[in-house]
Amino acid sequence: GGVGGEGERCPIVFISGIGIGLVAYLKLVDRWLEEHPGREIFLVDLPEYSLRFTTSVSILSPLDRASALTAMLGGRGAHFVGHSLGSVVISWVIRLAPEGVVKAATFIDPVCFLLFHSSVAANFVYRPPATPLDCLVSYFVAKELYVNNALHRHFRWQTNLLDPALLEDIKGVSVVLSDHDHYVPSQAVERHLNLEAPKVRTRVLGEHSHAQFCVLEGSCDVVMEEFRFADEATIRN
């Protein structure tokens, strides 16, 4: 594993959300490389959600995906970071991988909480676009062939839902929400986590929409603060 200047650190596993793939998160990856030279960073792309020009995409089951990530790490624990749909993959690893694989977790704009809340699926898949940005997301992302198939045929809320109680035994957990998120009911998620998992640290980005942290330096700073909080717990404990 990689060793940073402040002591040995577990690997970072970053899982992207729906969109153009990992390129949207290069600002965040650059920050990790700058602060943790020599540390292992695994960047996980979900091909069915990454707008790829291809003739076929294989969709792994939750168990197969969790097993593949565990094998990738060689049985070691890691700090998992997931944005949007990437949070669902973290929920699979927490529930299906051996204990200790998730040493810390940072959730950004997570969709894995309150999936029984009607607004989550409805807002992304069914809500008519109301703004020019909504139109772009609807027609070029949500309705893309493989994304559309994955969401309508393979997204099972009861499998993807994460019970906050399962986070209580993880050393460090941070959750970053966006105040004006059109897809995640951020205020409801914050209340839910504060009630069901009071040890989990939550942070709300004011006046931010879903994924806006990717393009704003200040909000990327906040995400890094929350990442550091969760990361330090793996050293403290």
Strand (E) positions, 109-178? 172-178
220: left (phi over 0), alpha (psi -120 to 50) or beta: alpha
pLDDT of residue 1: 34
Backbone phi and psi for residue 42, each to the nearest 5 degrees, phi listed first? -105, 125
Transcribe 47-111 into DSSP letters: GGGTT---S------HHHHHHHHHHHTTT--EEEEEETTHHHHHHHHHHHSPTTSEEEEEEES-S
pLDDT in tens, 101-125: 999 999 999 999 998 877 666 666 6
pLDDT of residue 212: 87
pLDDT in tens, 15-31: 998 877 788 899 999 99
Would the pLDDT of 98 be above 80? yes
Place of tokens 């690997």: 11
Cβ atoms of 106 and 28 within 8 Å: the answer is no
- The rounded percent of the chain whose pLDDT value lies above 90 is 54
Looking at residues 93-107, what average pLDDT do you find? 96
Distance between CA 102 and CA 174 in Å, rounded?
Answer: 13
pLDDT of residue 4: 38
Query: Of how many residues is the chain composed?
Result: 237
The chain-wide mean pLDDT, for the chain, equals: 85
pLDDT in tens, 216-231: 878 999 999 999 999 9
Would the pLDDT of 139 be above 60? no
DSSP state letter for 167: G
